[in-house]
């Protein structure tokens, strides 16, 4: 029997995933800050200390105007932020 068939198969888990984080619209609503960046989210405890890339996802509602700097957003979350009077930079 060849060696590759004798050894057990194992999955793959990327080590880069620990640097990614997600924030919901409802969490931004509770945060209450008008200008939000990565440092603000880390100080509030919404993302981990290792996070380098943050993305806003469409969960909940946003009524306050929020300006995001250096943070990505999904298409639906971007529409909701702009509808509330906020912007992405």
- Give domain limits for the chain: 20-88
Name the pLDDT band for 67 (thresholds 50, 70, 90). Answer: very high
Report pLDDT digits (tens) over 27-59: 999 998 889 999 999 999 999 999 999 999 999
* Averaged pLDDT score across all residues of the chain: 93
**pTM score > 0.85 for this model?**
no
Per-residue model confidence (pLDDT) at position 76:
95
Q: Determine the Cα–Cα distance for residues 65 and 86; give it in Å rounded to an integer.
A: 4
CB 72 within 8 A of CB 41: no
Fold adopted by 20-88:
Ribosomal Protein L15; Chain: K; domain 2 (3.100.10)
């Amino acid at each position: 029997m060849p060696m590759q068939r004798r050894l057990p198969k194992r999955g793959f888990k990327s080590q880069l995933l620990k640097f990614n984080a997600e924030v919901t619209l409802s969490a931004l609503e509770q945060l209450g800050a008008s200008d939000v960046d990565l440092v603000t989210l880390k100080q509030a405890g919404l993302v981990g200390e290792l996070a380098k890339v943050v993305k806003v996802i469409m969960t909940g509602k946003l009524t306050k105007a929020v300006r995001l700097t250096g943070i990505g957003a999904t298409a639906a979350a971007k529409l909701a932020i702009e509808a509330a009077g906020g912007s992405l930079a």
